[in-house]
Structures are given as structure tokens and as C-alpha cells.
Structure 1
Amino acid sequence: MSKRGEAYSQDLRERVLAALDSGMAARTIEPLFKVSLSYIYKAAARRRETGEVCARPQRNHVALKLAEHEEALRSKLEADPDARIVDLRAWAKTGLGIAISHARMWHMLKRLGLTYKKRRSMPANKSAPMSRRRAASGAAAKSG
């Protein structure tokens, strides 16, 4: 069984079509190979119409708009290491003429191995606790 958006293996494709060719009903093949009924019908129809039995290339890939501007993005982040994603999107729009979503910019930073958090965590607040103290455990917490 393949993950959503991932093609079935060639071996599985061949076994499903061979079972269909041997005379098995599609409803019998479905639970046996753990494929959907619609996949069986579509694979059989595509083989009948075009002769294709291999997976076609996936068409759900979204090209990275900033792929050819990786070095420019790295340079921008070296010059301004605390730049927020909002700032980087504005820079891409004005400097490169590319409109890019927040998620795509985040994906590009991740792809470059860059993290959102630029500095280490701040030291604990000494004037007041930042979180509640944990309750005592067991019998010590109960007062009689």
C-alpha cells in the first residue's frame, strides 16, 4: 500500500494487472493487494487505451520560486541574520520581483538548512517565575 500522493510500486502494478488478466474480479483483487477499486479500473483502462503499465511522473510538485536565488537569500540572511519571514518575503517582492507565500519561504529556509530561531533562549527571569511550580506528589501533597 502506498502513501497518499505516492505511486504504487511497479511490482504491485504488475501483480494487480496479472490477477485481473487471470480472470479474478476487481472486487476480489482490491482487498488481496490492498489497492482501491478505482485504481484497478483506471490501471486496466490505461493499459487498454495506451498500453502503459508504469507509473507516470507525479505532477503535484510545486517548483521553488527562489531556487535560482539561493545565494542571494543566503547573502541577505548573512547581512541581516535576525530577519523575520515577513521581512524576507518583502525583500523577495521588492528586490527580486517574486511574490512568495509564508509557507514557501519557510520551506526554502528549511531547504537551505537555516532555522527560524536565530539566538539561544534567553536566561530565566529572575524577578518572577515564568511557570507554576509543580505540585508535590503522593501523600506529601495531601494535608489531613
Structure 2
Amino acid sequence: MAWRRGQAYGQGLRDRVAAAARLSLRAAAARSAVSPSCVAKARARLRRTGEATPGPQRNHVPPRPAPLEGALRARVAAAADATLAELRAWTLAEHGVRAGQPVTWKALARLGPTLEKTAARGRAGPPRRGPGAPRPGRSRAGVRPGQAGVPR
């Protein structure tokens, strides 16, 4: 059985490891196709808690701006067009919490605001042309403006 990062082994495998209590660590590991460390940890958990089931997996690091989510929500409502840099500067100035750009972005994602475009943010570059639209500076006849009657 292949180990998948971040996921516990199946309960059937854990039961087989627990049933092989009379075997040595290495023999039980070879029999179940897992590492000796896995067998040792499963046996230790069985001795400590009496359970062969896996424990809960947790992220032990709380998000840095988690206590400020209410204040951040109010700030975004007041200044909806604030950039990430402005929100980071506000967080540092008002609350003394230094948060990086990815942390601020994830905090905003948890709040769930939508990204709005303003009229001042036009497209970068010239407008798109359709398949039959004339090229800029040309008329439909392929003649430059001001040179009527002169073919290309």
C-alpha cells in the first residue's frame, strides 16, 4: 500500500498491524508493507489510547490576521478599492500586525469579497478588432485616409 502525503493509512491496515503484536517491529512492517516507524507509532497509539484509529490532523499555526477579520471586513467595506499593499500598511499601522501579501490575500479570500473592476481600469493596450474590422489608419477599401483613389 502506498503512503499518500497528508492522509492516514486505512483502518484495515492499522488493524493488521495491531494484530501482528507478537511479531517484531521489522517483521510486522515487512508483512504489512509499511515502515517500521509506522508500526511503532501505531503500537504506541494503541498502548496510549487503546484505539487503533488515526488521530485528527491539525494545522497548528493559526492565521496571523485571524483576530482582525472583523476589522478587516469593515475596512474592505469602507474602502472597497484598497490594494493589498494598502491593506497591509493599514494592518501594520492600526493593529501592529505585519502580514505578508499571501497572508493578506488568503484573509481576504476567507472574507469572500468579489473583485470589482472600476471604470478607471481600462484594458491594457488597444481595443480588440473583430475579424472584419479595418486596421487602424485604414478604411474598408484598403486606402489610407486622405489618399482617396490611390490603391495600395
Q: Which has the higher contact order (CA 8 A, sep 6+)?
A: 1
- Quote how far apart the aligned CAs of 1:95 are: 0.7
The code of the aligned residue for 2:112 comes to: G
- Quote how far apart the aligned CAs of 1:63 are: 0.5
Matched, 1:29 2:32: yes
- Distance between the aligned counterparts of 1:22 and 1:53, measured in 2? 16
User: Alpha carbons of 1:103 and 1:3: their partners in 2 closer, same or farther (altered >3 Å)?
Assistant: farther
Structure showing greater Rg: 2
- TM-score under structure 2 length normalisation: 0.59
Which ranges of structure 2 fall in alignment gaps of 5 or more residues?
130-152
Mapping of residues 66-105 of structure 1, within 5 Å: 66-105=65-104
The code of the aligned residue for 1:39 comes to: C
CA deviations 1:47-102 (Å, max 9, x no partner) are 35675644344353321222232221111112221212121111111111112122
User: Number of aligned pairs?
Assistant: 123
Counterpart for residue 117 of structure 2 = 119
The code of the aligned residue for 1:26 comes to: A
CA RMSD of aligned residues (A): 3.3
User: Alpha carbons of 1:91 and 1:124: their partners in 2 closer, same or farther (altered >3 Å)?
Assistant: closer
- Quote how far apart the aligned CAs of 1:46 are: 4.3
The code of the aligned residue for 1:7 comes to: A
Matched, 1:14 2:15: yes
Counterpart for residue 39 of structure 1 = 38
CA deviations 1:17-71 (Å, max 9, x no partner) are 22x23756311201xxxx5443123222443567564434435332122223222
Question: Which has the larger helix fraction?
Answer: 1
User: Alpha carbons of 1:10 and 1:95: their partners in 2 closer, same or farther (altered >3 Å)?
Assistant: farther
CA contact (8 A) 2:28 2:39 kept: no
CA contact (8 A) 2:17 2:28 kept: no
- Quote how far apart the aligned CAs of 1:127 are: 5.7
Which ranges of structure 1 fall in alignment gaps of 5 or more residues?
130-144
User: Alpha carbons of 1:103 and 1:127: their partners in 2 closer, same or farther (altered >3 Å)?
Assistant: closer
